[in-house]
Each structure stands twice: as structure tokens, then as C-alpha cells.
Structure 1
């Protein structure tokens, strides 16, 4: 069914998709400029809720992902505080040049495997987007809207950066949650700690998974090494 009037950017929703449909759509996105995403709780209701520039894609192209994260970074810590250890005084430096992992077969395979596992519990949407990282902006997703400084252009620039650096593919969108598969997660403690700081800047609630543990970037980094999924939840 077409949802263009009520959910901008969403072209179709398949409530009982064939398990192989996600794989076919994702494999064809370079030609079709339409991207699949699994929809969770209140995902459709979250579409269309955020303003975007007149030419949002030009705005993304002109946006530096590292500068966005540095702007969103909650530091520095106050005197005596260790909550942002080891990045107490500053945000991590800009990462060096890296291969673009987004087109690699492992990136596609990780997303397809995850979608196959959770697909029976989700609807499948087709979105007017040329890559998974662009989906929140394409649907004007409002899931992070309760954080006034978090704009969709900046969010999309960061997702594109992760897609290229780590093969991190946005697979599922909920009303307040994004879930990414990660084909090339950070392997060393140093790299993981820098990525942990990026996650804390990207999603302010990431330090508290509400399971009794409150993370610093250093302790959170231990959960990122070798992790095949990243989940971000805005309270």
C-alpha cells in the first residue's frame, strides 16, 4: 500500500514479506534508489515528524560527520568526574582515511542475515532512499526529536560515515530506536574507545542501557569489539 500522504518517503509496506524480499531490495538499491527497512513499534507514527531543509541531500553532502559528533559531544567532564573516561577533556581526534566498506559483500550479508532472523516479527517498508543511512532523513524520522540539537541532516551524515567505515547498515527502525548491523566492527581497544565516544555523542542515552550498568566510553567500548549489531535508543 502507498503511504506517501501519511508517511513521507515510505513507498510501500509489506506486512507479511517473503523472507528473501529484503535481500532482493537491498541488493538492488543502487539501481532503484529505493531501500528496504524493517519497521518496529510505532515506526510509521514517527515518520514525517521532523522538519528538513529544502534540499536535504545537498545539506548532508556538505555536512562533516566528525564535526557533528564533536558538536553533540557532552564533554568535557567537570573537575574530578570520570564519566567520559578516557575522553575526559576532549572528543577523540578525527579518524584517518579508511576503505569504504558499504559496498562489500560482507556488509550486505550481515544485514540480510539479521533481517532474516527478525523479519517475521517486523513489517518491511520500501523507502525512497539511495542507501540505508539515508532512511531516517527520507522519512523525516522523529525518534530523536526530544533532543533539540539532534537534526536529521547531522544524524544522516554520521550514519553514512559509519556505513562506510564499518559496514554499519541501518536494518530496523522503531519509533525511538535504530538498529544497525556491523560487518566490520572495531577490533582494538583504542579504536573501540573512539567509536564509543562517537556513540555517546550520537545518542545521549547510550551510556545507560537500563540494565543496572552505567557506562563510560571505556567500559562501553568493551561491548563494541566484535559486536555485529549496534542499537541506539532515545528515551
Structure 2
């Protein structure tokens, strides 16, 4: 293992600081991440890449920025409820100005939440695919993080990450959606940065109607990525059809 440090929860009102994660001083090798992923069931430590270099970003900006949320908070949410709640909030009318978004942005859907997409068909083992995709996301500024969670999706809530703070006030609901993606699409969390998230996808949508349904979920998860890059749900659906990675960023 490379040299590193243990980061703890410094939230006000806490007793003895609880460990948030261990983070390496240098960038890790993809082979090390693969070995640690295999060992997760024994160690209880989820390995991921963190864009959290002091030299690049100054003070820590990925870990412990907001109070961490326990696993129990994630378990209170169901992905379908999270999606519906955010969807309704995004499309609600703005007083006398009309809907917040034009229908062209939402096509092929309307103002009513379409609900969760059907599960995908696995094209690869999720963990093997994750290991294959890791080298794409390793650069000089990435570090190895080891987080004490049972599954990767929980990192979004338990790490005290604030990347989506301009979209949602707390991240337990997003973690619940990511859990659902683990189960339906063979998703694995690969990299987390101050305002971005990268996932591998072992069961991506193959047909356009399925990709559109997945894109609708992504719009509620990260509207900035779709509105500012793709422009609409339908355009974004064409981008993610068959893709083995999903990447999100928040403004």
C-alpha cells in the first residue's frame, strides 16, 4: 500500500471523530484498485479514485465538506420516490411565468415523471468491467480512497461529499438512486471529485426507448450534465445508449 492518511469526521457536536476514509498521498495503480475491490467483502473498505489533491485544490474539497449521512438515511429512500420528488420540483410552474422547462427539453416525456427504467441486461461482470475502466480515470491528480461502506453507492452520503449541493441539500436520496443503478445496471462507483462522479455500467441500455427512460432518471440525478451539455433528455439518451461509463458533473 502507498503512504496515506486517515481522514475523520470533524462535524460539530461529534464525540470522538469517526473515520471517513483513508486517502493515499500519490496516485494509485489500476492493479491496486482491482486487488482492493476483490478484497472489499473481507475488509469492508470500498476502493475508489478521489480527485482530492492538496496541491491542486488547496484544502480538502471532496471529503468531509458537509456532515456525513449514515446508511440509515439512505435506506429511508426509494429510488422511484427520489426521482418523482426531484422531477416534480424541476418542472413545477414558476408563478405566472409558466413551466420551468419547455417540453422540448423533456421529450420524449411530458411534465409527469415517467418513473424508473427497466433493468438492463448484463454484458459483463460489473467488477471486472469496473477494473477495466479504471485506467481511463487515473491521472496525476487522483488519489486512492478507501471508505468503510458495504457498497460503493453509499460513499455519496457517508463521505461528507458536497458535489451536488447546488442540486440537493443532502445526498442520501442520490445514494439511494445509485444503489438502484448498482442493482439494475451493474453500476460501480469509480471516481469522485469536488463536483463530479464517474461510474462504470455493466448493463447499459441498448435500445433508444430504454436509453430515454434511463436518461430521465439521470436528469433528476444531475440536471446540469444534461441541460448544459446535451440540451435535452432525448439528445442525452442518444449519448448514453450502449455506453459502459456514466459521468456526471454539477455546476
Q: TM-score, normalised by structure 2?
A: 0.80
Alignment of 1:2-151 (within 5 A): 2-5=5-8, 9-40=20-51, 42=57, 44-53=60-69, 56-73=70-87, 74-75=90-91, 78=99, 81-95=103-117, 98=119, 106-121=125-140, 122-147=142-167, 149-151=168-170
Alignment CA distance shift 1:31-1:64 (3 Å): same
Deviations 1:161-205 (A, max 9, x none): 111111111100111000001111011111111110110100120
Distance 2:202 2:60 in 1: 27
User: Partners of 1:114 and 1:90 in 2: how far apart?
Assistant: 35
Give distance in 2, aligned partners of 1:80 and 1:170. Answer: 32
Distance in 2, matches of 1:203 and 1:17, equals 28
Aligned residue-pair number: 226
Partners of 1:35 and 1:27 in 2: CA distance? 10
Structure 1 unmatched ranges of 5 or more: none
1:221 matched to 2:237? The reply is yes
- C-alpha contact (below 8 Å) 1:14/1:125 kept by paired residues: no
Q: How does 1:193-232 map to 2 (within 5 A)?
A: 193-210=212-229, 214-232=230-248
Residue by residue, what CA displacement relative to the aligned partner does 1:44-88 show, whole Å, maximum 9, x if unpaired?
4221122345xx212212210111011111226839642211122
Are the counterparts in 2 of residues 44 and 175 from structure 1 also a CA contact under 8 Å? no
- Equivalent of 1:159, from 178, 186, 189? 178
Structure of larger gyration radius: 2
Secondary structure class of the residue paired with 1:181: strand
Residue 90 to residue 113, structure 1, CA distance change in 2 (3 Å): same
Change (3 A) 1:82 1:100: closer
SS in 1 for 2:106: coil
**CA deviation string 1:75-132 (max 9, x = no partner):** 2683964221112221113445x5896xx96211121112133334321111112211
- How far apart are residue 10 of structure 1 and its match? 1.1
CA-based RMSD of the aligned residues comes to 2.6
- Give the 3 Å change call, closer, same or farther, for CA 231–117 of structure 1 in structure 2: closer
Query: For 1:37 and 1:174, how far apart are their aligned partners in 2?
Result: 11
Give, in angstroms, the shift of residue 35 of structure 1: 0.6
- SS of the counterpart of 1:208? helix
Higher RCO (C-alpha 8 Å, min separation 6):
1
Partners of 1:105 and 1:226 in 2: CA distance: 12
Distance in 2 (alpha carbons) for counterparts of 1:205 and 1:185: 21
SS in 2 for 1:187: coil
- Gapped runs of 5+ residues in structure 2? 11-18, 94-98
SS in 1 for 2:190: strand
Which residue is equivalent to 1:179? 198
